Amino acid sequence: MLAGLTLWVDALFLKLIYGIRSFIGFIEAESTLNLRLVDLNLLVVFDALMSERHVTRAAHKINISQPAMSNALRRLRELFADELLVRTPTGMEPTPRALELIQPTQQALREVTRVFDNDVTFDPRRSDHAFRLRMGDIHGWMIMPGVMERLGQEAPGIGFDTIHLQPSATVAALETDEVDLAISTGLQHSTTIRSVPLYRDRLVCVFRSGHPVARLPMTLSNFLKLRHLKVAQSPVDTRFIDNDLARRKLRRNVVLNVQHWLSAPHIVRRSDLVTAMWERMARGINADGQLAIGKLPVGPGHTTFHLYWHRRYERHAAHKWMREVIVDVCRALPEV
């Protein structure tokens, strides 16, 4: 990746590294380590070793020989005065020092890749870009099939790493370049974060079709008498329903909190719990008719989900193309 760079490119790369505080925090002081004497290819080597935890596989990943990789590992160990990778009964494992270096090294490499990306020549058919996307399991179920179908037709080399984060952590991850894109709703963020609306949805009340409450009107009073399953990454996440109830000095009886939307319908099918679920998903997974879907007597009504990104990627060709793909897929979703 960095082989053959001229001296001025090396200088630019060093400037970028100096600008990343998280990386500087983990390397030795300038008085004892001259960055200009460091082979910058070692960053790529280190990243491959931490990803594969295996010398031969790491060598294959970045297209160098196994002896060359072993030699690079030796140089890394000398540079950081640490073993970095050690043998264990279950294979090679990183040392605590190596674990500290993974995130800042990846961030440094992303900064450099962004500098040398040639937007003019971006071709989705030839690209092997890997995007880091924050989304929940509901979006993996609802959006990713269409996205991957589109990529298979137009950009078979492009891939994704997905992660699910709490809303506050999502904004921080966008700011620090830990994720490229995020699908969420209602994020509180600064002007450095951009967004575009994707689709609207609304929460509905879901319970098993034979539930006794099915014979009653879903009034607020009846709703509060029921035992509830809540879907949230944290039990203290009070967005949507619980905030609305709190404003009325009310609360519901939550007996089970789960982190994943896709587990909720399977649980309510086999219990007397009720849950609030996004309508697109509730109707999409209810082909067998075992769920009853009703209007919620509380909550925000229709909610708009957005695609978020940092302004550093506003004009980045690959990033812009992927945003357009996700928007196109969401536009094809049926209305609710």
The topology under which CATH files domain 7-116 is Arc Repressor Mutant, subunit A (1.10.10)
Q: What is the pLDDT of residue 107?
A: 77
**Residue 246: exposure state from Cβ atoms within 10 A (0-12, 13-18, ≥19):** exposed
Instruction: State mean pLDDT over 30-35.
Output: 47
Q: Confidence class of residue 262 from pLDDT cuts 50, 70 and 90?
A: very high
Superfamily name with CATH number, domain 126-197+307-331: Periplasmic binding protein-like II (3.40.190.10)
Q: What is the pLDDT of residue 43?
A: 86
Domain boundaries, the chain: 7-116, 126-197+307-331, 200-303
Q: What is the pLDDT of residue 168?
A: 82
Q: Is 266 left (phi over 0), alpha (psi -120 to 50) or beta?
A: alpha
Whether 206 contacts 243, CB under 8 Å: no
Q: Strand 130-134 relative to strand 159-163: parallel, antiparallel, unpaired?
A: parallel
More confident residue, 229 or 63: 229
Computed over every residue of the chain, the mean pLDDT equals 85
The topology under which CATH files domain 200-303 is D-Maltodextrin-Binding Protein; domain 2 (3.40.190)
Q: At what angle do helices 96-116 and 41-52 cross, to 10 degrees?
A: 120
Q: How far apart are CA 54 and CA 13, in angstroms?
A: 27
Instruction: State mean pLDDT over 162-180.
Output: 90
Instruction: State mean pLDDT over 301-322.
Output: 93
Tokens of 87: 């043998």
Q: What is the pLDDT of residue 34?
A: 53
Q: How far apart are CA 163 and CA 156, in angstroms?
A: 21
Whether 258 contacts 229, CB under 8 Å: yes
Chain position carrying tokens 């160990």: 77
Q: What is the pLDDT of residue 33?
A: 52
Tokens of 2: 């960095």
pLDDT digits (tens, 9 = 90+) for 14-32: 444 443 444 444 444 433 4
Taking 70 as the threshold, does the pLDDT of residue 45 lie above it?
Answer: yes
pLDDT digits (tens, 9 = 90+) for 95-126: 999 999 888 888 778 777 666 665 567 899 99
Instruction: State mean pLDDT over 31-51.
Output: 74
**Range with lowest mean pLDDT among 24-28, 185-189, 295-299:** 24-28
Q: What is the pLDDT of residue 117?
A: 61
Instruction: State mean pLDDT over 233-245.
Output: 83
Amino acid letter, 89: P
**Range with lowest mean pLDDT among 60-64, 134-138, 158-162, 250-254:** 60-64
Q: What is the pLDDT of residue 26?
A: 44
Domains 7-116 and 200-303 share a fold: no
The CA–CA distances, whole Å, from 8 to 11, 12, 110, 112, 267 equal: 5, 6, 19, 14, 60
Q: What is the pLDDT of residue 122?
A: 82
**Range with lowest mean pLDDT among 20-24, 168-172, 247-251, 304-308:** 20-24
* Max mean pLDDT range (15-19, 31-35, 186-190, 272-276): 272-276
Instruction: State mean pLDDT over 275-290.
Output: 93
Whether 254 contacts 228, CB under 8 Å: yes
Question: What are 327-336's contacts with CB under 8 Å, separation 24+?
Answer: 327/196, 327/198, 328/150, 329/143, 329/146, 329/147, 329/150, 330/143, 330/198, 330/199, 330/305, 331/199, 332/146, 333/142, 333/199, 333/280, 334/280, 335/200, 336/200, 336/201, 336/202, 336/279, 336/280, 336/283
Which residues have C-beta within 8 Å of that of residue 81, sequence separation ≥ 6?
none
Q: How far apart are CA 151 and CA 124, in angstroms?
A: 9
